[in-house]
Copies of this chain bind each other. A is one copy, B any other.
Amino acid sequence: MARSVAEKADILPLLAEVFREHGYEGTSLSLITQATGLGKGSLYHFFPGGKEEMMVAVLASIDLWFETEIFQPLQNAASPDVAIDAMFTAVRTYFASGQRVCLVGLLGLSDSRDRFAEAIRRYFARWVEALAIALRHREQTNQAAREHAEQIVAGIQGAIVLARALDAPDVFDRILNEMSSRQTAKSGE
């Protein structure tokens, strides 16, 4: 047969996209088979734990991506300003100017929050933490840097919500631009 020699690594992005579009509850196995081209047999071969294990794997892959592409650069960059700029650019691309939902944020709002509470908490905690480190140079205290980081992460999440609701990607870009420029403006102080 059409034995596609599927590997977990290949189907994870597809899986992630389905969960992003439909949430955890809204993603049925039939949607998954449709999106991945894999039958139930294959899916349960790779993920014996079913839907929940699939979501855990997706969350882990998201975590890995953000850790390497966003969090680590923020923490270790020689120039924090450049790293923060890079973060804004990466985020704009990743979330397709708000047309692509943040799966972790969505999960946190939804019914299945409790099931993945720890992964959700860690994702946002790491983001705030890494960004706060990059912001330390700019702020009087570590606490101020932390609060500023909270504002920016919340601003990004809110920009997704608003841009999706209004169906207006330009709203997303405007909000991110403003946060980014308010940032660089401070260097003149």
Contact = CB atoms under 8 A, between A and B. Distances in A.
Contacts of A105: 109, 161, 165
Interface in A135-162: 147, 150-151, 153-162
Given A155-B158, A161-B157, A162-B124, A109 B106 contact: yes
A181 to B, nearest CB: 12
B164 A108 contact: yes
Question: What's the number of copies of this chain in the assembled complex?
Answer: 2
A110 B26 contact: yes
Contacts of A113: 164
A125 B166 contact: yes
Interface stretch (A37-45, A64-72, A115-123): A115-123
A52 interface: no
Contact of A154 (B23, B112, B121, B162): B162
Interface of A: 21-23, 25-26, 101, 104-106, 108-113, 117, 120-121, 123-125, 128, 147, 150-151, 153-162, 164-167, 171, 174-175, 178-179
10 contacts: A105-B161, A105-B165, A120-B165, A121-B166, A121-B167, A125-B166, A150-B175, A151-B179, A154-B162, A157-B158
